[in-house]
Amino acid sequence: MAKQIWLNLPVKDVAKSKAFFSKIGFSFNEEHDTPKSTCMLVGEGKFVIMLFEEKMFEDISQNKLTDTKTSSEILISIDAESKEEVDTIAKKVQEAGGNVFAAPSLNQGWMYGCGFADLDGHRWNSLFMDFSKLS
């Protein structure tokens, strides 16, 4: 069986994307960096998200890219430890040049989250889930 799963995303500018994600709190394994890709690490388990220059991504996937202005290819959810952390992430995204398309708010009475798009339009959400309020 597989030992790990990695997510691969196309980006227009690897350096700008790396700066954006650094500003919102993600880290990188720079020993795997190339001029056309970078290795982002997410969470305690250090989930790998590879950011590839768009042309390189197309070559690897052997498929055309989704136009993130008109459609979504994925929604990446990241866990938050508190409502305050969700608010902080939303603020950092705006300061780093991203787009918060769904302001932090309560959903279904037990989830507090926000939705944002990175510099390339990939959609993310940050969620704090209070399971004690789940009915």
Give the tens place of pLDDT for each residue, 11-66. Answer: 999 999 999 999 999 999 999 899 999 999 999 889 999 999 999 999 999 999 99
What's residue 1's pLDDT?
74
Q: Is the dihedral of CA 22, 28, 32, 38 positive or negative?
A: negative
pTM of the entire structure?
0.90
**Measured distance CA(22)–CA(49) in Å, rounded:** 13
Give the tens place of pLDDT for each residue, 96-132. Answer: 999 999 999 999 999 999 999 999 999 999 999 999 8
State both tokens at 9: 């995303």
Cβ–Cβ under 8 Å, residues 32 and 19? no
State both tokens at 36: 């056309």
Domains and CATH numbers, the chain: 1-65 (3.10.180.10), 72-135 (3.10.180.10)
